[in-house]
Amino acid sequence: MRNLIKKLISVTNLSFARISTVRHASSKSDAQKPKEEPKNVEQIKKNICVEKYGGVTTLNIDRQMTRNSLDEATLREMTEAINAFEKDAEAKVLVFNGEGGSFCSGFDLDEVGEKGYHTLVDAASRLLRRPLCDKPTIAAVTGYAVGEGFELALACDLRVIEDTAVLGCLGRRFGAPQSLYGGRRLTALIGLSRALDLLMTGRPISGCDANAMGLACKLTTTGTALGESIKLAKSIIKFPQNALIMDKLAAVNSQLNPNSEESMRDEAVMQSLLGSAIEDLNQGIKKFQGGIGKHGKFYKLTDVPLKDWELEETIEEVIVKEDEDKNKKA
What are the tens digits of pLDDT across the range 240-254?
888 888 888 888 877
Q: Using one digit for the tens of pLDDT, what is the confidence trace for 224-239?
A: 999 999 999 999 999 8
Q: Please, how many CA atoms are within 13 Å of residue 131, restricted to the half-sphere of its CB? A: 23
Q: Using one digit for the tens of pLDDT, what is the confidence trace for 158-177?
A: 999 999 999 999 888 778 77
Domain ranges of the chain: 2-23+32-268
Query: What is the model's pLDDT at position 127?
Result: 78
What HEC string does 41-52 produce? EEEECCCEEEEE
Query: What is the model's pLDDT at position 260?
Result: 54
Q: Using one digit for the tens of pLDDT, what is the confidence trace for 48-85?
A: 999 999 999 999 999 999 999 999 999 999 999 999 99
> In the CATH scheme, what is the code of domain 2-23+32-268?
3.90.226.10
Cα–Cα dist 62/85, whole Å: 18
- 151 pLDDT higher than 80: yes
Identify the band that residue 276 occupies on the pLDDT scale cut at 50, 70 and 90: low
Q: Using one digit for the tens of pLDDT, what is the confidence trace for 105-139?
A: 988 888 888 888 788 888 888 777 667 888 999 99
